[in-house]
Structure 1
């Protein structure tokens, strides 16, 4: 496996916390502690454009591909919808005074993970909260959706994962998953596995078909694992950590294939917070506390 650093996007003035893909394979969005919401073009790396300046940290972005609108989770001030083309806010809703850690859109519903433990489910078209799901007093940190089983997995700061029914909007299962906060959950593209990781630096693989039985427990990083994502073809997945590294894994065997760090690949100098694996030339984008986005080309 070969790793090449293609580019670095600079412009944020503080830690970058979140990324999402846009309407085309070359379009991505970023946001973070500086409140700046920025659009980038992977084929035109010098043309970053500021979409909005939010007066608070942003941990969560979600692009709605059907309506071509960007959902922004503004901490302590609810949800804001931005038209990326017009660069203007379309609507906003003060759904919470808590921090917003994650947003996922599925089947005309937006699932929003909040720091007060609430999972808010919003009707996208009506832009109203349809249901509040409160199953923990600790923060809801991360959301993953399995369109095959029609389940929603949510990782919490009480070390557990909850599985919800995407249609009935009800709790189905509680998994006592980790020894500390669960920062990231992700279903495999075929829907068979749920991967989870967090502050305990362990990567865990759960068999969805076998009632979420634990298949593997891997001591994957030195410090907290902040995020993980799959490659577009589903053959690989990557994890990123507070230990400043990105690791690339074989999705079939869960074997470590590559470590991307500062010493070997001129990687990030501080915590790597978020990953996005684009279908554009299979480029992997990473966001860090060092205020930078790095673009990686990974070939096998």
Structure 2
């Protein structure tokens, strides 16, 4: 592995339970976290110690999403539905009770919001009308993660039935059903600069797919335990994965070589499962959240 320098800049606390959700704000200087304690907190990368409570709900928050054009934050409230926060006014402006299931991921594109639930349904919401447009039953098990390819207008969904399903965003018609992993798919992302999609899951494998026909290009045993999430750097040249094995790994997108392992022993990393990771487009720092209730901010010199 190359001599990449890693510097842990901050450890942020404030949540009272495992942190499951992490999303970059419309202004990427800010990011948002959601936890098993029902709290959603705003953090400022310029003043990271000053977390600000944005919302408090009754159940765990597994999913957060932002609408950059409307400056909205969508909160997935387990067993209830979604809450919508106007970030300029810092207040809730509407909500929808849409499910009695867990909400594992939310993605917004254009005027549509896609909500993935524990009973294998994608709920499509019209943001302007603040109403449900459609329920799409795509499996018997949980919809765990979404990824959107805006250039091809495609939505990918990773499921607990081990599959990845690809849909056309225009009419929500199915395009591909990929037998992707040997267990649940938790991590999924399209590259910003290459025609590839990367997936990861409970089987600890990273799978790399070309996105013309979605053929599998490479499968890598990447972690010891489940891969919970992955995030590309803005330019697409690198990405990071995080795992139940308590480590963060940095990868070269071109060679698919492992460049760095960030863990507790070597870098005072997290002590328990790392649930989400974000490569900030604001300052290229890496943000990670964990079952240990802490947020870590890392500077990486590539």
Q: TM-score, normalised by structure 1?
A: 0.98
Distance 2:174 2:27 in 1: 35
1:48 and 2:54 are equivalent in the alignment: no
- Out of 141, 152, 166, which is 1:149 matched to? 152
Contact 1:28 1:41 (C-alpha < 8 Å) held by counterparts: yes
Contact 1:12 1:36 in 2 (8 A): yes
2:11 to 8, 12, 15: 8
Of 269, 272, 280, the residue aligned with 2:271 is 269
| Match of residue 135, structure 1, among 135, 138, 142 | 138
Which of 78, 81, 86 does residue 83 from structure 1 map onto? Answer: 86
In 2: Cα distance, 1:47 partner to 1:269 partner: 23
Runs of 4 or more consecutive aligned structure 1 residues displaced over 4 Å after TM superposition = none
Structure 2 match to 1:59: 62
Aligned ranges 1:1-300 → 2 under 5 Å: 1-209=4-212, 211-300=213-302
After superposition, the C-alpha distances for 1:40-62 in whole angstroms (9 at most, x for unaligned) are: 00100121100111110000000
Structure 1: distance between partners of 2:175 and 2:242: 29
How many Å separate the matches in 1 of 2:59 and 2:90? Answer: 18
Q: What secondary structure is seen at the aligned counterpart in 2 of 1:253?
A: coil
* Whole-Å separation in 1 of the counterparts to 2:90 and 2:150: 31
Query: How far has the Cα of 1:87 moved from its partner?
Result: 2.9
Residue deviations 1:249-296 (CA, integer Å, cap 9, x gap): 001111100000001111000000001111222011000000000001
* C-alpha distance in 2 between matches for 1:113 and 1:168: 17
Deviation at 1:233, TM superposition (A): 1.8
Alpha-carbon distance, 1:25 to partner? 2.2
SS at 2:249 equivalent? strand
Cα displacement string for residues 155-193 of structure 1 (whole angstroms, at most 9, x for unaligned residues): 000000000001111111100110100011111113511
Deviations 1:223-253 (A, max 9, x none): 0000001011211100000000000000111
Gaps in structure 1 of 5+ consecutive residues: none
Deviates more, 1:125-134 or 1:69-78: 125-134
CA distance in 2, matches of 1:152, 1:281: 28
2:193/2:235 contact within 8 Å kept = no
Query: The residue matched to 2:140 in structure 1 has which SS?
Result: coil
Q: Matched residue pairs, number?
A: 299
Structure 2 residues not aligned, in runs of 5+: none
